[in-house]
Every structure is written in structure tokens, then in C-alpha cells.
Amino acid sequence: MDDTSDDEYYQPGEVAERLFFTDADGESTDPDSAIAAALDGDWERLEPEAAELLADESAGAYDRYLAMSALARWASPIGYAAVREAALDPDAQPWREMSVDRLYSLDNTFAMLTQSVVDSVEEAGQRGTAAERLAALTALIGIADQAYFDHNLSPSGLFNEDIEQLRGPIEAAIEHGLGELAAAPAEVALPRWVRSQVEELINALGLVDKAAADAYLARLAPETP
């Protein structure tokens, strides 16, 4: 079992293969490159098909996840709405746990979605979907106690401008996390990580209001060994 064959893992369906694993010249590519290449304008041609794939319940779960990631990165209101909906019930998402991070083998699907939403700031400005983008980001911040975000809800993951605009949701998530940690620290969904993620949200807040962040940090219980 050691010499694992690549084809034992995820295989995209026909539409996902064409959208995310094939470039304009018909050569093989990867989803991140394909999604980025479309930012120069091809997204207009690809968006309807990606939206169809996202809505297709018969399609593979990760194919649909890639469609949502692409739509969010292209600042599509359809993509942002799908992110908001997914955050309503994170555990129920069919693509959950289909990607893991390199350091801890933890599900990082919501972490990567956050990157897509955050990185779409310019495109959202150009397309007039900035409000939808912030709503999607708000929804993600709201589940900081339920999903692993791999440092994406931190000063190194969030733009200062977004932190300014989302101060309310960020403080709400901090308060919620502090409450959970104070009540039953061992029973939070992701022991250790929730505390870290609350701390990182506090540090993010500190970029725009250090006094407020210091006050929250004082309430964050010391980490138990």
C-alpha cells in the first residue's frame, strides 16, 4: 500500500477536467492555475458552466467544491452565495475533508475557500460584488469555532481593509469563542485550534485597534499543556 498510485485518489469528472485541469491550449494544468488564468477575462465564458457544475447534484463533491472556489475567486455572486450557504452547516458539506493540510492532515476545505474569497477583493470591486464578498467572509468568520482555517483568519490571512469593515463579525466571533473556551475548553469542536483561531482573530483585530485586541487577549485563558 505504500507505493500509492495517483489514480487511487480524486479523479475529476468530465466538466471539472475541462474547466480546472485543462488549459486554453488543451494542455494539462492544475485548478489554481486554471482559476488564476481565467482572471484575465476568460471567467466570463467559464462562469456559467462552473455555476452549472456547482448546482449539479449528480456531479462529484470535489468537482463542485472546485466550481465554488473558482466562482468565489472570480467574484461571482453565485460563488459567494454558495460559500455563505456552506458555512450554515459546515459538517454537512459533501466535499468536507476531501482536502487536508500538509502539517496536521486536517480538513482545510474552508481554509482554502477563505483564501479564494479574500483574494477576490479586486475582482469584487470591478464586478460590483464587494458587499456579497464581505457577506461570504462574514459567514466564514462566524464558523471559526467549527472549522480549521490554517491561519487564514489571522493578520497574515485577512486584509487590513476587510478587518476594518468586518470588525463587528470579528468581535462577535471572538466573544463567541471566548465564551466556548471559558465554558468547556475540552469540548470545543477542534481542541487547541479554536483557541489559536480566536487568538488569531484577536491579533487581526489588533491591526486596526490594538487597545481592543489587548483587552480580548487579557481574557484569553492561558493555554494548558
Partner 1 sequence: MSEAIVKALDEAASRVGASLGKDAATAVTGLYRDTSGKLTGVIKRSVGTDVEHAGQLKQIADKLEHNATRGDLSAADKAAEHTALRDKLKGILDDPGKGTKPVIKREDNDFSQDHFVPKDPKTGQPKIDKQTGDVVKVGKSHMNADGELVPANPNGKTTITQHVIGGNDPKVKGSSPYTSFAPHAPNGGKTYGNHEYHLDYNKMQQDIDSGKLKDVELHNPASVQNSIQGEINGLAGGKHVTVPPGSLPNGEMTKSEKSAFAKQIAQEHGITGPAKNDLAQRINALSNTRRDNEWLVKGKIPSEYLTKIR
For residues 193 and 147, the answer to whether their CB atoms sit within 8 Å is no
Q: Closer CB to partner 1, residue 96 or residue 176?
A: 96
- Of 1 and 218, nearer to partner 1 (C-beta) is 1
Note the residues at the interface with partner 1 (CB under 8 A).
1-4, 6, 8-13, 20, 30-33, 35-37, 39-40, 58-63, 66, 69, 91-92, 94, 96-108, 112, 118-119, 151, 155-161, 192-193, 196, 203, 207, 223, 225
| Rounded least distance, CB 27 to partner 1, Å | 13
Closest separation in Å from C-beta 42 to partner 1: 11
**Least distance in Å: CB of 51 to partner 1?**
18
| Cα–Cα distance measured from residue 175 to residue 48, given in angstroms and rounded to the nearest whole number | 39
Q: Sign of the CA dihedral 182, 185, 189, 191?
A: positive
Is residue 136 exposed (0-12), middle (13-18) or buried (19+ Cβ within 10 Å)?
buried
Q: Which CB sits closer to partner 1, 5 or 183?
A: 5
We find the least distance from the C-beta atom of residue 124 to partner 1, in angstroms, to be 14
Query: CB 107 → partner 1: shortest distance, Å?
Result: 8
Q: Decide whether 109 or 129 has the Cβ nearer to partner 1.
A: 109
Nearer to partner 1, 72 or 139 (CB): 72
b or e along 52-85 (b: 16 or more beta carbons within 10 Å of the residue's beta carbon)?
Answer: ebbeeeebbebbbbbbbbbbbbbbbbbbbbbbbe
Task: Give me 105's grid cell.
Answer: 492532515
Residues β-bridged to residue 157:
none
